[in-house]
Amino acid sequence: MGWDKIMTHSTTRRSFLKRAALGGAALVAGTRGPHAKAALPYTAKEISARLGISTAVYQKERLSARHIAAIRAAGIRHIELTMIPERIDMHDRAQVSEILAECKRQEVRIVSIHANLQLRYNHTDEDQRLAAAAHLLDEIRFAERIGAGIVVAHFGTNDQSSKTVTEMLDKTRDMRIRLTVENMRGGLKPYAAFVDRIGSDRFGLTVDIGHIRDADGINPMVKKGRAADVMAQGGRRVWHLHLHDTFNLETKPDHRAPMHPDGIIEWGEVFAAIEAIDYRGIFLFEDGRGENPEQWVRLAGEFPANFVARYGR
| Segment 16-31 mean pLDDT | 38
pLDDT at position 36, please? 38
> Taking a C-beta distance cutoff of 8 angstroms, is the pair 288, 56 a contact?
yes
pLDDT at position 53, please? 98
Distance, CA of 186 to CA of 191 (rounded, Å): 10
DSSP characters over 155-223: --SSHHHHHHHHHHHHHTTTS--EEEEEP-SB-SHHHHHHHHHH--TTEEEEEETTTB--TTS--GGGS
Amino acid (1-letter code) at residue 46: E
The distance in angstroms from the start CA to the end CA of the chain is 24
Comparing 259 with 238, the larger pLDDT belongs to: 238
Model pTM score: 0.86
SS3 content of the chain, % helix, strand, coil (to 5): 45, 15, 40
208 - beta bridge partners?
242
Domains of the chain and any CATH numbers: 3-311 (3.20.20.150)
Which percentage of the chain shows pLDDT scores above 70?
A: 85
| Segment 171-176 mean pLDDT | 96
Confidence of residue 288 (pLDDT cuts 50, 70, 90): confident
pLDDT at position 152, please? 98
Amino acid (1-letter code) at residue 27: L
pLDDT at position 131, please? 97
pLDDT at position 167, please? 98
**Residue 261: pLDDT above 90?**
no
Distance, CA of 310 to CA of 164 (rounded, Å): 43
Residue of 47, 45, 30 lying closest to 274 (CA atoms):
47
Which helix (H) or strand (E) segment holds residue 113: the answer is strand 109-114
- Lowest-pLDDT range, 35-39, 128-132, 162-166? 35-39
> Taking a C-beta distance cutoff of 8 angstroms, is the pair 150, 239 a contact?
yes
Which percentage of the chain shows pLDDT scores above 90?
A: 76
The dihedral over CA atoms of 124, 126, 130, 131, expressed in degrees to the nearest 10, equals -80
Q: Would you put residue 235 in left (φ > 0), alpha (ψ -120 to 50) or beta?
A: left
What would the pLDDT profile of 266-275 be if each residue is shown by its tens digit?
999 999 999 9
pLDDT at position 187, please? 92
> Taking a C-beta distance cutoff of 8 angstroms, is the pair 149, 4 a contact?
yes
Comparing 163 with 185, the larger pLDDT belongs to: 163
Task: Give the total residue count for the chain.
Answer: 313
What would the pLDDT profile of 192-235 be if each residue is shown by its tens digit?
999 999 999 999 999 999 999 999 888 999 999 999 999 999 99
DSSP characters over 50-80: TEEEEGGGGTTS---HHHHHHHHHTT--EEE
Confidence of residue 313 (pLDDT cuts 50, 70, 90): low
Confidence of residue 23 (pLDDT cuts 50, 70, 90): very low
